[in-house]
Structure 1
Amino acid sequence: MLRFNPTWRNRRRAIVYEFSQFFIETNGIRLNVAAQGAGPLVLLLHGFPETSYAWRYQLAALSNAGFRAVAPDLRGFGRSDCPIESGRYTTLDILGDLIGLMDALEERSAVVMGNDWGAAIAWQAALLRPDRFRAVVALGVPMMDRAPVLPSRLFPMTEQAWLYTHYFSQPGQAEREFERDVGATLRKLYFWASGDAGQRDQKTPNPFGMVPRQAGLLDVLPEPVSLPSWLDEAQFDIFVSAFETSGFHGGLNYYRQLDRNWELQAAFNGLLVQTPALYLVGEHDTGLAIPGMHEIIGAMPRLVPNLRDSQVIERAGHWLQQEAPDRVNAAVIEFLRGL
């Protein structure tokens, strides 16, 4: 197990965040893991395009509150291994990584918390392995019923445009666009999916919306004047460096398994998330622009009968734990202490 201790300083907040990083061999791959604190385990799962560094504020806050916070770079991201085969990125593959990670840490149970793809995985972890995951916190992505048809048939597509998931599913296409200039890619994705983009309506550029068939996703996003207010240059450079090293292939492979995930979920159809749960979403999250999303969120108690609370965080967007760390940390720690 390799171990080193980076120190990140957030000048705007004048706080030093210290956590250890190490590698763990699990489920046939090597994961890079950031960890801080001692106490009951909380696993933190990032989304796309992020890394474990997205949880820098939560690692510190949870540690200070008496918890052991652990954030892996999920397979395909950051310093973790990035299998070439797209078929090795199903939700069950990632869940296997998490179980192996917990075993390596000699932890029997954990609270699992995720944002974006990490939230989707966290819901499945609590659904399928409540013996190992005793509670769940989801940011942005609600728990949803299994769709009636394959996602590739459900998501909109016309001769002129298709939903971003279709675009991401084309092997190599999004990689070529995103990797031409990693800094420009992340600047656009982070800004236009954040609360800095303002109220979500049809006039607001949305990186997770429809993509013209004859253009790329980045082509329809204006160049931001600056980084979003919640991300400084030093922090941004850490994300840029990570994706310049890993590329975007691993993260995009998660989208290429949407149909396969749907097929695998048939075996678990009808199960409910029985563990205690907390749901948080930013007021300006891109997901809230999806037709019917408010109704899906409102219907969650049927699928999650022990949903303790559901909160909308004002003025925040899709990168919730980075945009509104104080409000997220307060809600999460209150939830954890009530378990």
Structure 2
Amino acid sequence: MMTDALRTPDDRFEGLPGWPYTPHYADDLPGYEGLRVHYVDKGPKNAVRTYLCLHGQPTWSYLYRKMIPVFLDSGARVIAPDWLGFGRSDKPVADETYTFHFHRNMMLALIERLDLKDITLVCQDWGGLLGLTLPPDMPNRFERLIVMNTTLATGTSPSEGFNAWKAYSASLPDMDVAALMKRGTPVLSDEEAAAYGAPFPDASYKAGVRRFPDLVMVEPGMDGVETSKRAAAWWAQDWHGDTFMAVGGADPVLGPPVMETLRAQIRRCPEPMVIEDAGHFVQEWGAPIAKAALKAFGEI
């Protein structure tokens, strides 16, 4: 696959607060040859459980820095990839490169390459829009779910808040990611907010950021609708694993009403943990969420 792509210089990622993790890369995934995908890989390779932590837009695996240590302390392995166009992964420059199945097929290939098993899927935002469609294709690899502020897009808009966000995003082709994160998550320090902006030296690196809002399937004929409908049916009928749901109560885009709809779609999904003052990026309250999930799963 020959795709014109940019690679964020390594020095942009030096000294980020709360981020001691050595990068790992896959650059020969089938269908994505030459594109380098970054992922965090910590904990024993033969661990009983693997936590697969999937971020959304405009974040990267840094979003999980408060949850990763809790999972590691349980003896698990943690894999936290960056979608192409985000984080330390390569960034195709053409907006049209980014499609629902471009992202989805990459993650399927990465899971196969790493031969991940006994997976607890940890997902939010696009990490869920895409991630929740993966287990139906490889059900024997997934055993548990931690789901936060996300949705399955099956051809209608999830909320008026999403419509507003999509319009706002479209007006900012060179979105200031650090400023956006600071505004949406005031608990962030300036240094943490800057870490979210680290992958994007300028607008040419932001095609993936620009594209994700437009890819949400708000019309019946859009790419990914059928895949998501199939996934919704699978979660409702065929899912037999344990689920933990956490909701940032102050999220105007994918907050409590959207999550209650999703909860109804997931078989045996219990009452959610609601963090009233948490916004969309609820992983910034990630340590108590991870601990509550492990307790619910009977691990602590």
TM-score by length of 2: 0.76
Is 1:69 matched up with 2:56? Answer: no
Structure 1 residue 114 displacement after superposition: 1.4
The yes-or-no answer on 1:175 pairing with 2:163 is no
User: Is 1:190 equivalent to 2:188 in the alignment?
Assistant: no
Q: In the alignment, which of 102, 107, 117 is matched to residue 116 of structure 2?
A: 107
Question: What do residues 53-97 of structure 1 show as CA deviations (whole Å, max 9, x unaligned)?
Answer: 111122222111111111111111122122344454333332322
Note if 1:260 corresponds to 2:223. Answer: yes
Distance 1:257 1:133 in 2: 25
Q: Which amino acid aligns with 1:254?
A: F
Q: Secondary structure of 1:44's partner?
A: strand
Verify the 8 A CA contact 2:247 2:259 in the aligned structure 1: no
Q: Call closer, same or farther: CA 1:266–1:43 in 2, change over 3 Å.
A: closer
Describe the shift of the 1:277–1:269 C-alpha distance in structure 2 as closer, same or farther (beyond 3 A). closer
Structure 1: runs of 5+ lacking an equivalent: 11-15, 157-161, 195-227
Note the 1:22-101 alignment, pairs <5 A: 22-25=24-27, 26-27=29-30, 28=32, 29-38=35-44, 39=47, 40-101=49-110
CA contact (8 A) 1:143 1:304 kept: no
1:281 matches 2:281: no
What residue number does 2:291 align with? 330
**SS of 1:112 mapped into structure 2:** strand
Q: Give 1 or 2: higher strand fraction.
A: 1
Counterpart mapping for 1:294-305 below 5 A: 294=257, 296-305=258-267
Shift of 1:279: 1.3
Based on CA coordinates, which of the two structures has the bigger radius of gyration? 1
% same residue: 19
Report the CA distance shift for 1:235/1:191 in structure 2 as closer, same or farther (over 3 A). closer
C-alpha deviations, 1:127-157, integer Å up to 9, x for none? 443233222211112456x23x5x5xx976x
In 2, Cα distance between equivalents of 1:97 and 1:107: 14
Cα pair distance change 1:167/1:298, threshold 3 Å:
closer
Structure 2 unaligned blocks of 5 or more: 1-9, 217-221
AA in 1 matched with 2:252: T
Alignment of 1:251 with 2:223, yes or no, is: no
Aligned partner of 1:219 in structure 2 is none
Work out whether residues 132 and 231 of structure 2, in 8 Å CA contact, stay in contact via their aligned partners in 1.
no
Q: Contact (CA 8 Å) 1:42, 1:69: kept in 2 or not?
A: yes
- Contact 1:141–1:287 (CA<8 Å) still a contact in 2? no
How many equivalent pairs are there? 272
Q: Residue type matched to 2:164 in 1?
A: L
Question: Distance in 2 between the 1:175 and 1:97 partners?
Answer: 25
CA distance in 1, matches of 2:95, 2:208: 8
Question: What SS does structure 2 have at the residue aligned with 1:77?
Answer: coil
Which stretch of the first structure deviates more once superposed, 257-266 or 21-30?
A: 257-266
1:18 aligned partner: 20
CA contact (8 A) 2:125 2:150 kept: yes
Aligned equivalents of 1:278, 1:244: Cα separation in 2: 36
SS at match of 1:35: strand
Q: Structure 1: which amino acid aligns with 2:294?
A: I
In the alignment, the residues of structure 1 paired with residue 264 and residue 194 of structure 2 have an alpha-carbon distance, to the nearest angstrom, of 42
2:75 match: secondary structure: coil
CA offset digits 1:153-193 (Å, max 9, x no partner): x976xxxxx6332454x5xx5314x2xxx3xx522x22332
* CA gap 1:17/1:332 in 2 versus in 1, 3 angstroms: farther
What corresponds to 2:273 in structure 1? 311
Taking structure 1 as the reference length, the TM-score comes to 0.68
Secondary structure class of the residue paired with 1:174: coil
Look up the equivalent residue of 1:248 and give its one-letter code. Answer: K
For the aligned residues, what is the CA RMSD?
Answer: 3.2
Report the CA distance between 1:24 and its aligned residue: 0.9
The answer to whether residue 242 in structure 2 is matched with residue 233 in structure 1 is: no
Which AA in structure 2 matches 1:47?
G
